[in-house]
Amino acid sequence: MLIRTRLLLLGIATLALPWAGCQYAREMESSLREAERQSLLAVAETIATSLQGRRDLLSRDLSGAGARLPPGPRDLEPVPLRAEPQLDALVDDWPRVTTAWRAFESRSGERLRVLGGTFDRYLYLLVEAPEDVLVLDRTLGDALAPESLGDRIWLGFEDASGGTTQIFLSAPATGALQGRRIATRELGRPELLDEPRVQGSWRRLAQGWRAELRVPLSMLGARFGVLLDDRDQRGAVAEPLGSLATRDLQPLGRLFAGAPDLRDYLERFSQPGVRLIAATTAGATLAEVDELATPELVSAPQALLSRLYRRLLGRSGIDGRSSANERGRIDANQALTAAAGRSESAVLAVGPLRRIVVAAAAPILDTDRRSVIGVLQVSQTADRWLVLRDRALTRLLNLTLLITAAAIIAMLLFGGWLSRRLGRLRRASENALSRDGVLSDRFPDSDARDELGDVSRSFETLLGRLRDYTSYLRSLAGKLSHEIRTPLTIVRSSLENLEAVPHSSEAAPYIVRARQGTERLDAILKAMSAATRVEEAITSAERSRFDLAALLREAVKAYRSAFPQRQFAFDEPGGVLHLYGAPDLLMQLLDKLIDNAVDFSAPDSTITVRLQAHSDQLTVDVDNEGPPIADEMLDQLFESLWQARADRSDTPHFGLGLYIVRLIARFHGGEAFALNLPSGHGVRFRVRLTRDHGN
């Protein structure tokens, strides 16, 4: 594997930094979430403690055992409204809730649905009669005449003194409504009085009608009821005005409405992003201060990166318990826990969009610190965690990804730079030995103060020593021949003198053997001297341009005369083939190859000399029909002092001939090598020469 690839993999491994950053961000988010829950729980308990024993501030119906009973079918739990609705009998200003609607029905069977809401110091009522036809007042002449009145809406409630008040609303046309009540005068005479504090409006629907009413909370006590006096059900014989209401309208239902000052009290503790709710023990909302909002990210690019990171990293890790409670009620589980006197915090998924919020609920105790008179809930959206986490995660991931990208680029650049240095060092080591057999001890980056510089300097030292040793070996033959020649001359002259004096017949064979040894030793010295002279000649040879084909052609003619026991064939492409080199050295090269071919070929066999021309090279082949050479020995033939002769002839051979061939071939920018012929009989010695080498 390449170093650059390894460095790239190492750079990719730095992606563990963003992963570790994500894990850290998740742990930070978990800690922040837990701290937020504890903080909200502390806030809820603090506000609940401030409301301890404040029945007058908390609710209108928290006295007696009725406060601890669950809401009944006639109990009205008005929803806190966030804005003042217009009295136009439309539902645009009202929240879409279902659990807060109440169905009221009299003994006569009249049915209507009522939804209550509170805003500021008023109770608002949305009254619907889905299956009834609206009957308007017929005349305003005698307002007390039963037959003159149409459909009437009766409101019955306890007043502040504990008495019962009944108010009805009707009108000769759709639109505005005004409350009226019946006062009893002398001798029981009824009198119709306007009640301007109770106002409203109604309109026809496709089926039935709808009315929107407003009643000041200051008029209401703890009990409240609604009754429909239906003209269709009443028939042609009308009952006296007020008899139906007096008989059937008894305010048996409870009104779970918070005190007007409760919302103002909660606003003291409000802060952005937090919702405060005071509720009954059953979970009905008494007052609400809603500052719950989703914090925005700093910029659109950060929001895009945040969504991208969320998608890549999976879920946010915030899973809320499903809460099916609608507007106007708090979570049922939290209400039950707080009603039992225990505080609780939980992550809730609320609303149709399953919005994740963290909510803490604490019980509001009575003065005895035992009974629970209400529940205080503090909520905060979990989007705040997400925003804080996303901000931290976006910055962290951007920073770590930037560092990772920079690290990968730096590693790639460093790997490329290191690879170039190693490539120069590799090429320098490959070219340390030139084709002329000259060693070069100069390596790149030898001045660098790092590991590669140390390697380069070590190679220089090694090649310097190898060059000195090679020089010693090259000069060893000349030194030996010079040093041995004088003792050899003394031995030879002594043998000649010994042959001249009388000697016994037993000594004669030893004298002959000694002379033969001196002759062989003299031949060795001559061969070593010849090799040294060739090396020196190669070093000092002068180059010239000549026709190699003509040179080989004349040489082959001379070989035919010198070796009549062999057949010589010359194969040439024809024409003039110029070569820039040393003709004398090439003749020595060819002499060595021919001598080798003659030694290894049988008498009357054919030695073929072939010349081939290429674009930038000339190839000289010398083929003989001798025995093939083992494959493992082909690369060793051209080494110094190496031979593959198995015979022991009188003519000495020292393995220098092919070594000289290689030296001359390298001097001409080429190479020499051997290969067996395809037929399996014979060997081919091939020399490649560069045409313009050294020109």
The mean pLDDT values, 10 residues at a time, for the chain of 695 residues are 70 73 72 82 92 81 48 77 89 84 67 85 89 72 61 82 83 88 77 89 89 90 80 53 51 75 87 86 84 54 61 54 72 88 85 77 88 89 68 75 81 82 84 69 78 84 83 72 78 81 80 81 72 71 89 92 91 88 90 90 91 90 89 77 53 66 87 88 91 63
Residue-level pLDDT at 368? 81
Backbone angles phi, psi at 4, to 5 degrees: -60, -40
Is residue 79 within 8 Å of 93, Cβ to Cβ?
no
pTM listed for this prediction = 0.52
DSSP secondary structure letter of residue 188? G
State how far the Cα of 52 lies from the Cα of 47, in Å rounded to an integer: 9
Q: In this predicted structure, what is the pLDDT of residue 619?
A: 94
Q: Which two tokens stand for residue 179?
A: 């409350």
**Could you say which of 3.40.50, 1.10.287, 1.10.1760, 1.10.3470 is the CATH number of the domain covering 435-540?**
1.10.287
Answer whether CATH 3.40.50.970 is correct for domain 72-254.
Answer: no
pLDDT value, residue 454 = 85
In CATH, what number does 541-690 get? 3.30.565.10
Tell me the pairing of strands 344-350 and 321-322.
parallel
User: What pLDDT, on the 0 to 100 scale, is given for residue 130?
Assistant: 78
Q: Find how far residue 548's CA is from the centre of its chain.
A: 69
CATH 3.40.50.300 matches 12-60+260-392: no
Output the 3-class SS for 553-612.
HHHHHHHHHHCCCCEEEEECCCCCCEEEECHHHHHHHHHHHHHHHHHHCCCCCEEEEEEE
Residue limits of CATH 2.60.40.1190 in the chain = 72-254
Q: How far apart are CA 349 and CA 289, in angstroms?
A: 20
Q: For position 65, what pLDDT does the model report?
A: 39
- Phi (first) and psi of residue 457, to 5 degrees: -65, -35
CA separation for the pair 412, 7 (Å, rounded): 7
State the CB neighbour count (10 A cutoff) for residue 396: 20
CB 597 within 8 A of CB 663: no
Q: Assess contact for 683 and 607: CB atoms under 8 A.
A: no
Give me the count of residues in the chain: 695
Q: Where in the chain is the domain with CATH 1.10.287?
A: 435-540
One-letter amino acid for residue 314 of the chain = G
Residue 637: burial class (beta carbons within 10 Å; 0-12, 13-18, 19+): buried
Residue 638's identity, in one-letter code, is F
* CATH 3.30.450.20 placement within the chain: 12-60+260-392
b/e sequence 121-147, b meaning 16+ C-beta within 10 Å: ebbbbbbbbeebebbebeeeeeeeebe
Per-residue model confidence (pLDDT) at position 630:
84
Residue extent(s) of CATH 3.30.565.10 domains in the chain: 541-690
Residue 353: other Cβ atoms inside 10 A? 7
Which whole-number Å values give the CA distances from 203 to 139, 152, 174, in the listed order? 19, 13, 5
Q: What is the pLDDT of residue 309?
A: 61
C-beta of residue 373 within 8 angstroms of C-beta of residue 63: no
Q: Which residue has the tokens 């005369």?
A: 561
Q: 371, exposed or middle or buried, with CB in 10 Å at 0-12, 13-18, 19+?
A: middle
